[in-house]
């Protein structure tokens, strides 16, 4: 079941796929946490691996950067590879001073300046939201791992270098952090009748100006990774 973007065979992916943006983070997760990881896709350097975690078949594949990119990969996983759950595990910029570098947030919703949802021709504005089942499992898992994980709205931006300098405006409406993928992922999941969740680690803080170096973003967001992996196990055991 190859596509122009994915050379994996039908059945190569687990029912749950973790999606970091960075291919090197996908490689790190597979080699650090999965048993017997197998590289099942490497088209355009978008590493996709499948292995087992606590006896459960789990996959991890990069999404690339931005909503067009995750829009392609998540659509194909949902519709062409029978994936049921996609958990984005990415970096985000905090819009709140009290969110320290490396902390974890979960997006129960995703505000956006993107027009990704225009394709559905709805007579209004669609609100992209996470799967309640995945979010509940993630909150439970964070508590079990003793990880403080605030839950709230994310702001999915179409621009990294924003000429309008308006990103912080979303903080006044309660947005926790800015990232670039969750809204498109949530739209694709809704359209496919599948489940999605974005769990993000804070890589920089737009209020304080602090930021992590690129290498740390690839390899140190382990709390986020462990939460997502345990959610994959819980979803499989609940089937």
Contacts of 59 (CB under 8 A, 6+ apart): 12, 13, 14, 16, 17, 18, 40, 48, 49, 50, 51, 83
| Cα distance between residue 29 and residue 220, in whole Å | 10
Token pair of 205, please?
């803080």
| Token digits of residue 29 | 């997760």
68's tokens: 């067009």
Return d(Cα 51, Cα 34) in angstroms, integer: 5
Q: Which of 146, 137, 138 is nearest to 200 (CA)?
A: 138
What is the H or E stretch that residue 200 is in?
strand 195-205
Q: How far apart are CA 181 and CA 224, in angstroms?
A: 16
Which of the residues are catalytic? 204
């Amino acid at each position: 079941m190859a596509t122009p973007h994915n050379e994996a065979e039908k059945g190569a992916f687990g029912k749950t796929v973790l999606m970091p943006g960075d291919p090197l983070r996908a490689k790190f997760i597979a080699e650090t946490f999965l048993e017997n990881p197998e590289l099942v896709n490497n088209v355009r350097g978008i590493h996709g691996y499948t292995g087992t975690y606590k006896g459960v078949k789990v996959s991890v594949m990069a999404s690339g950067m931005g909503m067009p990119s995750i829009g392609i990969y998540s659509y194909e996983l949902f519709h062409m590879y029978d994936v049921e759950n996609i958990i984005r595990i990415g970096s985000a910029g905090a819009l709140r001073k009290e969110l320290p570098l490396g902390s974890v947030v979960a997006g129960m919703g995703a505000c956006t300046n993107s027009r990704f949802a225009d394709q559905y021709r709805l007579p209004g504005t669609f609100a992209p939201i996470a799967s309640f089942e995945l979010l509940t499992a993630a909150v439970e898992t964070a508590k079990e791992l003793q990880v403080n994980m605030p839950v709230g709205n994310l702001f999915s931006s179409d621009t990294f270098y924003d000429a309008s300098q308006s990103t912080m405006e979303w903080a006044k409406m309660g947005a926790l952090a800015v990232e670039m993928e969750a809204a498109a992922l949530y739209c694709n999941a809704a359209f496919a009748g599948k489940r999605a969740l974005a769990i993000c680690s804070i890589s920089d803080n737009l209020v304080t100006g602090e930021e992590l170096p690129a290498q740390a973003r690839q390899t140190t967001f382990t709390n986020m990774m462990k939460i997502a992996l345990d959610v994959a196990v819980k979803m499989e055991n609940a089937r």
